[in-house]
Each structure stands twice: as structure tokens, then as C-alpha cells.
Amino acid sequence: MSRESAFIDRLKAVASDPAARALMDDAAVLDRPENGLVLTHDMLVEGVHFLPGDPAGDVAWKLLAVNLSDLAAKGAAPLGVLVGYGMGDDPAWDTDFAQGLAQALTHFGTRLLGGDTVRMPQGGPRTLGLTAIGAAPACGAPDRRGARTGDALFVTGTLGDAGLGLALLQGREQAPDDVRARLIAAYRRPEPPVTLGPDLAPLMSASADISDGLLIDTGRMARASSIDIVIDLGPVPLSPAYAATRGDTPESRLAAATAGDDYQILFTMDPAQEQEARAIAARHGIALTRIGHCAAGEGRLLLHQNGTPMPLPGRLGYEHDG
């Protein structure tokens, strides 16, 4: 049996939902959803978005998580995914990937519907794509462009752990073993707030996921909404592991706000709804932090430190524009 066939057989064992048609048909078939649909597609390329030495199971997890993060920010509950798998030269990597994908699908409560498996040319980088399909919330999917004057700015979870995990992996920083493991897990196995997003969606005026860094993603929201957004670094939420490693200083908060790979939700909301939103987040066991506000303006990002304006740093996050 060829390597492609062996891999597809592994996926068939994962794709047990009838919608996948046992991966024997030309396409997957979904029942009519209750509301609209939210659709996203993100790619990961070896040597660009992950390293050849990264565990395949972690790459599978991340491929799923980065796409589910987009759905969560739109308040969409995952209905299923299609995977595009550009295979490398190592069969053990394929096996580990399929296992990691199965584990991540179970963890996030969604299912494999279909996709495509191809072999990359000899020596070509593994290239992975995933399309996630989500059920839009009844209120409609919040838009990145919806922030209004007077809204407050919120963020879920904590920031900076993944960026610090990457720094540890690259040997740029050091941490004790238990803390190190937690921070590296944040980088390799992100936990986007998949079930919280749909519950919060009715309260959101604008929403986006934080993939490239709090500052850069907030700047995009400000531009898209044609409104100024002020972030205060003071309340930016840090995890205990992060604070234990880098301390809790203006500098460490700025590093957390520009690191990227957080896969948390950034959203704006009428501040009168704050108590309701806090109760929802508490039910999910996820932190919710008010970190800023929206003001009439031309789409600028502004930065404060405990209420005092400060200049923007030269680097706001991960820039795709190289």
C-alpha cells in the first residue's frame, strides 16, 4: 500500500461522521444549518510557520486551533473541518499527525469532513491547509469593523505565553522546567476560547482573534472600524507562568502585547454589558479583562500605561509584510 493510501486510511478512521461519507465520495455533505455559516482557511508551511523538528501531533493541533480561533472570534460554533495535507518524506510524521489531529478534534469537539492528500516534491516543505466551517450565531457573526465610540475593549485569557514559549524553544530565554513546559504548551497547543466565543457574540460590537499580537490586531480593528482605540498596558492580563519568568513590568507587558500567537478574542462592547459578559466568561472558566476603550477618531491605535499616554513601540506584532 502506498504512503498516501495508508495516511488516508488513518484519516478514514477519524472521519466517522456520516457527513464525511467515509472519505469515499467527491465531497462532504452537511445538513442545513440553523443560521448562517462562518468559513475560514489558514495554512501552515514547514520552515515558515513551524520547524521541521516540531512534533507532528503539535502541528496538527495548531493547524486546527488557529482556524477554530477565527471561528470563535466570529461567535461561530465549529461544524467540521477539511484538511489539505501536503505530505513530506517521513511516514512516522504522517502517523503522528493523524493521531494529533484526531486528539485535537476530540478536544475541541469537532469533526473531520474531508480534504485532500498530496505528496510534496522531493525535499519540498510540508504544506498544510485547514478549512473550518462554523455555525454563525443567531445574532449574526460580529465583524472586525463594528467598534463604536464609547465601547470598551476586552480580551479573553492571558497574553504573551506563546511568544515566551517560542523564545524558550529558541534558547533566547530561560525558565524553570514546570513553567517552561506550560509556556511551550501555550505555543504548541494553543487553546482558543472555542465555546466562549458563541456565548459572548450577542454582546460584541466588533471582534477579532489575536494571532499576530494584541497591538497589531487592535490597530487593524481600529482601521477597519474607522475609530480610535486606546489600549492601556496596565491591565493587560499576564499568566502566573509569564510573570514568574519575565516579571510584571511595563516592559514585560509590552512584550506580551506584541508577541502574537495568543489565539484569544479581542472585542469591543457597550460597557453597560460588562457584568453580563463577566458572568458568561466565568461560567467558561476563562478570564475576561477590560484593557481599553474606543474614541472618535480616524482609525488610530493609541497606547496608555495606567492612564498616561505613551508612544507606540516600533514593532506592534508579527508583520506578514516582510
- Decide if residue 320 touches a second copy (CB under 8 A): yes
d(CA 142, CA 88): 38
The count of chain residues that interact with a second copy, using the rule CB under 8 A, is: 68
Contact window for a second copy (CB under 8 A) among 95-103, 119-127, 187-195, 303-311: 119-127
Amino acid identity at 197: G
Contact window for a second copy (CB under 8 A) among 43-51, 156-164, 176-184, 270-278: 43-51
- Decide if residue 317 touches a second copy (CB under 8 A): no
* Interacting residue with a second copy among 9, 13, 16, 47 (CB under 8 A): 47
* Interacting residue with a second copy among 136, 155, 175, 230 (CB under 8 A): 136
- Decide if residue 256 touches a second copy (CB under 8 A): no
Contact window for a second copy (CB under 8 A) among 118-126, 157-165, 243-251, 284-292: 118-126
Buried b (16+ CB within 10 A) or exposed e, 160-175: bbbbbbbbbbeeeeeb
* Interacting residue with a second copy among 27, 170, 171, 275 (CB under 8 A): 27
In the bound state with a second copy, the residue whose beta carbon lies nearer, of 145 and 284, is 145
d(CA 278, CA 261): 24
- Decide if residue 195 touches a second copy (CB under 8 A): no
Residue 219 C-alpha cell reads as 490597530
Residues 6 or more apart in contact with residue 110 via CB below 8 angstroms: 64, 68, 78, 79, 80, 81, 132
Contact window for a second copy (CB under 8 A) among 39-47, 233-241, 276-284, 296-304: 39-47
Residues 6 or more apart in contact with residue 242 via CB below 8 angstroms: 158, 160, 161, 164, 183, 252, 256
